[in-house]
Chains A and B, each alone.
Chain A
Amino acid sequence: MIEINQLTKTFTSQDGTPVHALGGVDLTVNDNEFLTLLGPSGCGKTTMLKMIAGLQGWDGGTITIDGKAVTGPGPDRSMVFQNFALLPWATVMDNVCFGLRLRGTERRAREERAQELIEMVGLSGFESKRPGELSGGMQQRVGIARALAVDPQILLMDEPFGAVDEQTRRLLQEELLSIWERNRLTVVFVTHSMEEAVLLGDRVVLMSARPGQISEIVEVPLARPRSSDVGGLERSREYTEITAHLWDQLRSMHSEHRAVEAVR
């Protein structure tokens, strides 16, 4: 369980003015929950995810995982990056092995494990290709396999499908759902897309900007497993209602923001 208490963070921008990235965020993520974070650009989604990952410090508040305070990265957490963050010089196999290698897993064991994951994400036959030879969707499959190879309890995903085309994105969403359904895994998933947030999440955390705060948490009552009938879900009334509600909220945030900008 991830427990976030009164988390605050203020950055100083280049010109010296303070940027209130997070203004007192409280959030609990349950074990094996799929939580999606949705909000306008600049509301602190990435910042919060990096804090959970242990990559970014904060000013006030606490983050604990199963009762232990987060002080840095740990083997219980993996991250998937929007820009894939693959090593361009390494093959698919070596990229998937990377985390295991850093953690000192012996070669045979890590290649066996990597092979399993490469098969799971559907990249068999591409083991010796380099990222430059793969499409964006395939590159993110490598990113997901790499993150899962170290057997994390928590998977942190920062707009993982933001850089792939619409069709590939839909396929990857279904695959992620089915991977999550088959593994015990807590996922915190940042996205810009209301549809994606609703389709994937057990709960959607809606954030607002300046300072970054949670404005609403929406339960998604859609039945699981969802991977088998994504099309049906998308036509269901609940799905349509929740996405419409989220868009109403986001739209009012955007117009408020415009009003603030206008006053300045």
Chain B
Amino acid sequence: MTSLTHEPERSARPAMLNRLDSPLTYQILTFALFAIGWQIYGTFFGGLLVPTFTETVAALVPTLVSAEFWEAFVVSNQALVLGFAAAVAIGVPTGIVLGRFRTLERLSNVYLNILLVTPMAAIIPLLVMSVGFGLLSRVILVTLFAVVMIIVNVRAGIRQVDPSLIQMARTFGAGEAQIWREILLPGALPSIMTGIRLGLGRAVTGMVIVELLMVSLALGGLILEYRGSFNGPALYAVIVAIIAEALVLISAAQWLERRIAPWAPSAGKARS
């Protein structure tokens, strides 16, 4: 018996390493190609606004130690944190309710679709007119960007819970509250985590767009400023920093997803 239970683990190990290894190798390889391509393009056709890869890396260092960058970073992330938290707080319960109650879902579908297809940038003037240029309107925009992703994924998660699990619980005398606690919520957890991860990506987009288009402030403001002063390397460095932040956040969410819902076969892989 013991040898039976241990054997798969031993043979699974190298297989797992293989799986981890190959994407990483490809990632490094493609990144190297990308960097070389960038370097060549920047050297021969770059001109004033397209720095080379090495120039960007060189600019990244002073940018990352400058007070100006970190002040902008903090201001930007205020909107991100507040807006994303609000999106999760609104999106998860909304998605759950919509997933379970068909009538509500039919009533709300139009609005969700509007939120999904409207280019969010288009409602920025509206926001500015009604809420002003302050932190609040930035937070609202980040929320709007992220909340749809969360709602749609959570709703799908609740809906795809196997109905026979609910029947199974009923045969043991489960009431509605127990079905929620024991079946629906744990069953939807992987999708809830996926929704949160995808919502996070949208929230970062929202954060940058609002600063570029609405109030030239913080990181978005830096981008505009460096563009205005033709400081290519610094401009690219800021963008790289934003991308890096987004990647770190998404990886953290992915890690969390795998930790919280390890039974989901596709945790962190699907729909990304």
Measured CB to CB, the residues of A under 8 A from B are 50, 53-55, 73-75, 77-79, 81, 83, 85, 87-89, 98-99, 102-103, 124-126, 130, 132, 150
B 2-18 binary contact with A (CB < 8 Å = 1; else 0)? 10110000000000000
Tell whether, in the assembled complex, residue A87 and residue B165 are in contact, meaning their CB atoms are under 8 Å apart: yes
Q: In the complex the two chains form, what is the Cα distance from A125 to B167 in whole Å? A: 29
- Which residues in B have their C-beta under 8 angstroms from that of A150? 172
Tell whether, in the assembled complex, residue A88 and residue B263 are in contact, meaning their CB atoms are under 8 Å apart: yes
B68 interfacial contact with A, CB 8 Å? no
Tell whether, in the assembled complex, residue B172 and residue A85 are in contact, meaning their CB atoms are under 8 Å apart: no
Question: If the complex has contacts A89-B261, A102-B182, A124-B1, are A55 and B173 also in contact, measured as CB distance less than 8 A?
Answer: no
Min CB distance, A13 to chain B, in Å? 18
Min CB distance, B172 to chain A, in Å? 4
Question: If the complex has contacts A81-B168, A89-B186, A89-B189, are A103 and B173 also in contact, measured as CB distance less than 8 A?
Answer: yes
Question: Chain B: how many interface residues by the 8 Å CB criterion?
Answer: 25
B178 interfacial contact with A, CB 8 Å? yes
Q: How many A-B residue pairs have CB under 8 A?
A: 63
Which chain B residue lies CB-closest to A78?
B171
Tell whether, in the assembled complex, residue B168 and residue A102 are in contact, meaning their CB atoms are under 8 Å apart: no
- Which residues in B have their C-beta under 8 angstroms from that of A53? 171
Min CB distance, A72 to chain B, in Å? 8
Tell whether, in the assembled complex, residue B265 and residue A102 are in contact, meaning their CB atoms are under 8 Å apart: no
- Residue from the list A83, A98, A103, A124 in contact with B164, Cβ < 8 A: A83
Q: In the complex the two chains form, what is the Cα distance from A224 to B179 in whole Å? A: 41
- Which residues in A have their C-beta under 8 angstroms from that of B186? 87, 89
- Residue from the list B5, B165, B187, B263 in contact with A132, Cβ < 8 A: B263
B170 interfacial contact with A, CB 8 Å? yes
- Which residues in B have their C-beta under 8 angstroms from that of A102? 169, 172-174, 178, 182
- Residue from the list B164, B189, B265 in contact with A85, Cβ < 8 A: B164
Q: In the complex the two chains form, what is the Cα distance from A98 to B178 in whole Å? A: 11
Tell whether, in the assembled complex, residue A98 and residue B172 are in contact, meaning their CB atoms are under 8 Å apart: yes
Tell whether, in the assembled complex, residue A75 and residue B165 are in contact, meaning their CB atoms are under 8 Å apart: no
